[in-house]
Every structure is written in C-alpha cells, then in structure tokens.
Amino acid sequence: MNWTKKSSAVLASTLLVSSLLSACSGGSAPAPGNTSPDNSSTGKTPDAKPTDISIMSMYYTPEPPGPDNVVVKEIEKRTNTKLKITWVSPNNYADKINVTLASGDIPDLILLDDPFSAQVRSMVAQGAFWELTPLLKDYPNLQQYPKDSWENTKQADGKTYGIPRARPTDGGGFPYIRKDWLDELKLEIPKTTDELYNVMKTFKEKEIGGKDTVPYVGFVDQNGMSYMFQLQNSFTKTNGDWKLVDGKLVNVNLLPEVKEALVWMNKAFKEKLIPEDVAVMKNTQAKDLLKAGRGGLFQDTAEAAWEPTEELRKTNPKADFLPLVSLNGYSNKDGGFFGMYAIPKTVNEAKVKKLLAFMDYGATQEGYTLASFGLKDVHYTEKDGVLTPTEQAKKDIVAQQAFGQIFLKYDPYLRAYRTGMPPDVLERNKKIIDEKAKISSGDPSVGLASETNTKVGTELRKKIQDVKTKVIMGKEPISAWDDYVAKLKADPDMLKITAELNDAYQKRQSAKK
C-alpha cells in the first residue's frame, strides 16, 4: 500500500509525434540574459554575458551527456547560458539528493524526485527554497502545464516551491485486452469487473491462447497489489489507498469494496484465470507470456500495449491489445508530475527570473524538440509527422531520456505513442485517453504527510498485503480478511496515520481558499 502515493511516472519512448508535441502552444518569455524582443528565439543579445546555471537531474541513457555534448552546447547558445549539469543515475538519485540537500551546497536548479519527502518538507518550512507562485505568471509556457501538475506539487502551505516535471494525468497503467480474441469469440469489450470475469472465463474455456492460456497476467508483490492494483481500484473507484468519504480520507482497506475485490481475485485464482505464481511472478515473465500469445490481459500504460502487439504481429497480423477506457465506470488519473525542479534561496531574485526564463524556453516547441531530439536531419528525421532518431542521436546521447528530463513541453498524449506504432493505433490511443480524461479519478492523498506513516508505513503495508495475498491464493479464507480489517480499524498506527493525513488534507484545503 502506497500511503502517500507518488505519481507513477512512466518514461516516454525516444520517439514522439511532432503533431502531438505542438498540441499545447504558448508564447515565449525572454530567454536568460535576453533583453531584446528581437532576439527572443535565441536568447542572445550583443555583448550579453552568459548566465551560469548549475543543475542536478537524472538520466536514463546508458551514459549521461558530457559538458561538450552537442545539444548542451546548442542550448547554451540559444539561451545565452553556461551550464554545469550534475547527471545522476536514477538508481542512486535518492541517496544523492539526501547528501546534496544536507550539504547546503545546492545547485541553482535541483530535481526533487520526491517533493514530499520529510527532508524536503522540513527545508521548505525552514525557507530553503524560493516560493514561486507570484513569479510564474510571467512565464506562459510553464503555465501550459496542466493544473493538476501544479496543484499536486504544492506544499502543505498551499504554495509552489518548484517547477513540476509534468507528466500526463491520463493513459497510465490500466488493463489492456486481446481485442482480436474478443472479436474471434464474438465478445463485447468488458466495461465492468463482472463482464471482465466472464470474458476471462471464456478465454480459458475456449483455450484461445492454447491449453496454457492465462486470461489475466497479473501479479502482486510483498509491498502491494502491483500489477493487479488497478483491478482493486476498479472496485474502490479511487486511484490509491485513500478515498474521500463524506469529506474525510478513509483507508480503502477498511472499505467493503476491497473485500469484494479479494473475493473476485480468489475466485479467479481457483479457476486459473490469473497466474498460479501470482505472488512471485516478475514483470519480464508476464511480458513473455503476452508475447508468446498466451496472455489475454495485462496492466500497463496505453502506449505499452503496443509492445506485445508488435511482437505478436510478426506471425499474426490481426493480434491486437486494446487499452480499456474503464471498469465499473472508473479510470485512473495520475498526479501529473514526476518530481519538480526547485531553486534554493541562496540564488538571488534576479537570477531566479533567469532560471524561470530558461525553463520556460524548455517548455516551448523549439526548446523541447532540441532537448529531446536534437538537430533535424542530424539527430532525427521527420516523415508524416513522425520524428525518428538517427544513429547519430545515440552516439551524441540525444534523447528524451537525457536533456529531455530537464526541458519538457507538456503533451497530454505522451502515453499514446511508441516507436513503430502505426497511425491507426496512435489515433485510437488518443481517443481512449480523451475518454479516460472525462471520468478519471485521482489519489486525494497525493503530497500529504504523516509522520507515523514515515516510521511504520512500510511494515504495515507489508502486513496488509501478506493477508491479501493469502486470501487471493486460498491459503486463508475470506473470513481471515474480515478478522484482519476489524483489527486494522483499531490499530493505533492506522488510527494515527489516518488522523495525520486528514489533518494535512484539511490544512491543504484551507490553504487553497
């Protein structure tokens, strides 16, 4: 159970559609060091001294870009800056953040991958970072980021202390299904968990993927519901472990809907509609089943459904995994961010404005395309609106997974496209994301702090999941869940966590008024 659920960020592929990238347009604020509107596209003025900017961020390429990287140098040229970037692997980022923040020697722009860690909260309360709310109105491209991205990164006082690394709110992990199997069996697309169960049972009975067909390739782990999480959420109708009930946060495990989900999953386990090794299966094993044509459903982002589809189409042109819009009228809304860039108070106000202008340029079409794709006909080619990286892009470490982690133009369809995807699948995914956006529900506990949760939440989460797993696999009767919930309702730690989160929620609501 993720008590203070961070937005699950899913990394974009190295290919994006340029027509989608231009979906959000906006004016361009002057770039750092620029005082002449005639030079706004380059950020340069005659004799203007470059602005020194230090940055700490993460990279997902095999190696990080060096200081002489062609894109880094081009961005320096266009923004009239001199960049000193500390690139850190995501595997070590949490440790690096802790050390850097504790040292007090903080870069001008620092990516806080968890804006709500105890350390960050404490530093915000102590005035260690710039409060940006009154300044942001002058940077129109940053204002194009969705409201959720800004709202969900606000601190306890309701103020903004960082620029969100914006991510789409819709199109995140949710079940997708073999549409060609549905068509072959003349079945409708399931819209409820009851309909889904009947479809799964038919998949199994008809052995449509062979005798070893696994209708739903889902699994759990010791920390939570993992790749069956959105199935549970389709019963609770909230994307997370906390639900607003009569204006108060209630842990979903205390609600009858979780019991309903466990009954559903236990029945599916008995009838072999989910994996027998549901408690120990790994992501790679699940994907192997899908690519082998044995799996009917899986949980992942909208664009990720193309991965097994592409593999299957090598031998079966009709193979098709379709992302579901909803189940039981529920679809998941993510937080709209994966960390935020903060500016320490050691930076003077004049430079803060230059830093915001720098990031505002990165939110333009020009800045984002340069950062993620590099130079046209050198690092990418364009055909029919699709940007395709060249081999030179790999050699020069030009990718969305590199400088594209700093410069980001918001794209609501970021989770619609993956390399090699044909136009019809892309257009379908865009429509699915649009439909999801009309009904999706988010996590009301995003960004809320609980000191008790920080101390004991991990162990409590494991205990809850242990009971769930045993019930799903039939090692314990459903009555064992009833007994555990009764204890959980009186558990001192659960009571404290609930009280602390509700207190934080009410304070945040008051701060918005």
Cα–Cα distances in Å, from 380 out to 95, 173, 174? 35, 29, 31
Closest of 230, 466, 261, 428 to residue 333, by C-alpha: 230
* Cα 379 from Cα 86, distance rounded (Å): 23
Closest of 180, 191, 210, 368 to residue 289, by C-alpha: 210
Q: What is the pLDDT along the chain (513 residues), one digit of tens a residue?
A: 444 433 333 333 333 333 333 333 333 334 444 433 233 344 445 458 999 999 999 999 999 999 999 999 999 999 999 999 999 999 999 999 999 999 999 999 999 999 999 899 999 999 999 999 999 999 999 999 999 999 999 998 889 999 999 999 999 999 999 999 999 999 999 999 999 999 999 999 999 999 999 999 999 999 999 999 999 999 999 999 999 999 999 999 999 999 999 999 999 999 999 999 999 999 999 999 999 999 999 999 999 999 999 999 999 999 999 999 999 999 999 999 999 999 999 999 999 999 999 999 999 999 999 999 999 999 999 887 778 899 999 999 999 889 999 998 888 998 998 878 899 999 999 999 999 999 999 999 998 989 999 899 999 999 999 999 999 999 999 999 999 999 999 999 999 999 999 999 998 888 776
CB 361 within 8 A of CB 28: yes
Neighbours of 318 (CB within 10 A): 11
Beta-ladder partners of 248: 245
User: What's residue 509's pLDDT?
Assistant: 85
CATH number assigned to the domain covering 18-169+337-415: 3.40.190.10
Biggest CA–CA distance in the chain, Å, is 77
3-state DSSP assignment of residue 232:
helix
3-state DSSP assignment of residue 449:
coil
User: What's residue 47's pLDDT?
Assistant: 56
* Cα 489 from Cα 270, distance rounded (Å): 29
User: What's residue 512's pLDDT?
Assistant: 72
Closest of 372, 359, 361, 368 to residue 28, by C-alpha: 361
- What angle do the packed helices 365-373 and 70-79 form, to 10 degrees? 160
Neighbours of 503 (CB within 10 A): 14
Q: What CATH class is the domain 174-331+442-446? A: alpha beta
| Tokens found for residue 271 | 């009838």
Q: Please indicate whether the domains covering 18-169+337-415 and 174-331+442-446 agree at the CATH topology level.
A: yes
Identity of residue 171? G
| Tokens found for residue 409 | 């133009």
Give the containing element (helix H, strand E) for 454.
Answer: helix 451-472
Residue whose entry in the numeric block shows the structure tokens 């027509």: 19
Residue whose entry in the numeric block shows the structure tokens 């009569």: 246
Domain locations in the chain as residue ranges: 18-169+337-415, 174-331+442-446
Structure-derived torsion over alpha carbons of residues 197, 199, 204, 207, reported in degrees to the nearest 10: -170
The two counts, helices (H) then strands (E), for the chain are: 18, 13
The DSSP code sequence of 50-94 is PEEEEEEEE--SSSPPPTT-HHHHHHHHHHTEEEEEEEE-TTTHH
CB 182 within 8 A of CB 189: yes
* Cα 264 from Cα 192, distance rounded (Å): 12
Closest of 19, 15, 62, 90 to residue 306, by C-alpha: 15
* Cα 205 from Cα 498, distance rounded (Å): 44
Identity of residue 389? P
Question: How buried is residue 496: exposed, middle or buried, by Cβ count under 10 Å (0-12/13-18/19+)?
Answer: middle
Beta-ladder partners of 341: 111, 163
336: alpha, beta or left? (left if phi > 0; alpha if psi -120 to 50): left
The number of angstroms, rounded, from the C-alpha of 274 to the middle of its chain's C-alpha atoms is 26
CB 161 within 8 A of CB 124: yes
3-state DSSP assignment of residue 198:
helix
Strand pairing report for 380-383 and 386-389? antiparallel
Residue whose entry in the numeric block shows the structure tokens 């739903």: 216
Q: Where are the alpha helices (DSSP H) in 153-255?
A: 179-184, 193-205, 229-236
CB 498 within 8 A of CB 250: yes
